[in-house]
Structure 1
Amino acid sequence: MNTKKLVAGMLLIGLCLVSQAQTSKKSTDSDPDNLAKEYFSQIMGVASTAMANTKLYQFVYEWLGTPYRLGGDTKRGIDCSKFSLAVYENVFNTTIGYNSRNQYANVTPIRKNDLQPGDLVFFKIRSRQITHVGIYLGDDKFAHASSSRGVMVSNLTEAYWRRYYYKGGRPEESKTMTANIDTEDDGENLN
């Protein structure tokens, strides 16, 4: 995506939200946390009422557009498992493992219908093993590092993601502290 268009779009949305906050008489609209939720709701396509953890959405927002780089872990380039690891370390102060299969080993599997913002979503893309991971945001949206488009928000109901979706998972406190440190590459090959 063109950086200038992205910045212009963000400014436009920000100005609209500021304008809305200034003209609204509701006391909740003047709450900075609610304004942030509205802003991130517009950017990520998740209902503001589903946004329980503003820190999660702010972290994801700051990484949107970061290019994909296998093994990368900086804003110069990052892969899916390092992105989910960064989210958990920075937002939840928890370590979850260094690749998607290792991360799956450190979660309690949960049904798709029971996903909550911050849960991990796992995919088996053209493989019998887990090859991709993302962070569930709510309203069927998840953030991830796509090999073709970098850090982005996608929808679990899209045909591609529906086809390869494996399971959701919620990190277990006891397992995250003793995570098996396996730095083997995920071997991701996604859209």
Structure 2
Amino acid sequence: MRVLGALTISLLLSACAGPSGGPRHSAITGPQIDPAHRTEVVMTALSLLETQYRYGGSRPVQGFDCSGLVQYVFDAATETALPHNTAQIAGLSRPVARSRLQPGDLVFFNTLGKPNSHMGIYLGDGRFINAPSTGGQVRVDTLDNPYYQRHFQSVGTLFGS
């Protein structure tokens, strides 16, 4: 697994010290996941680094596409059922200003000339995890990457206030 330095260490320490209980949700009728689960979302996502990309994939053994990764992570970390569709997940999320991004929030991109054609989970420090493309693997990218800067669309959250 790749080492992310201080970010990984900080998240690991937070996971060990942070709350692990709290209400769980079986389906979303509106984005109201307990914010205490942000660390669980990030740690679950990081555990999937280097999993193969597969269009339509939504399980580690078969590989992931971008929305399949997000769907799997939120189900595993928070027991929240999400659709396997980037645009639908964007529709369920509550808009957030980019300046207010927090770990576990979602970042959306227009990579195919249509809104919400790619997404990832924000990790902090300008980094997000995503399943980028055929032949690739789940990886960490930065919002400062020229490609993602050019295609950045919006930020959303599924966490309650």
1:150 equivalent in structure 2: 137
Q: Which of 140, 145, 148 pairs up with 1:161?
A: 148
Q: Secondary structure at the match of 2:138?
A: strand
1:178 equivalent in structure 2: none
Structure 1: runs of 5 or more not aligned: 1-5, 11-39, 174-191
Q: CA RMSD, aligned part only?
A: 2.3
The 2-side partners of 1:50 and 1:138 are apart by 10
The 1-side partners of 2:112 and 2:106 are apart by 19
Q: Is the 8 A contact 2:106 2:122 kept in 1?
A: yes
Does residue 103 (structure 1) correspond to residue 84 (structure 2)? The answer is no
* Structure of higher RCO (CA pairs closer than 8 Å, 6+ residues apart): 2
When normalised by structure 1's length, the TM-score is 0.63
Deviation at 1:49, TM superposition (A): 4.6
The 2-side partners of 1:57 and 1:106 are apart by 19
How many equivalent residue pairs?
134
Q: Is the 8 A contact 2:11 2:39 kept in 1?
A: no
Greater share of residues in helix: 1
Does residue 84 (structure 1) correspond to residue 70 (structure 2)? The answer is yes
Greater C-alpha Rg: 1
Does residue 66 (structure 1) correspond to residue 51 (structure 2)? The answer is yes
Q: Secondary structure at the match of 2:147?
A: helix
Structure 2: runs of 5 or more not aligned: 15-37
Judging changes above 3 Å, is the alpha-carbon distance between structure 1 residues 108 and 58 closer, same or farther for their aligned structure 2 residues?
Answer: closer
Q: Secondary structure at the match of 2:131?
A: strand
Moved over 3 A (4+): 47-54
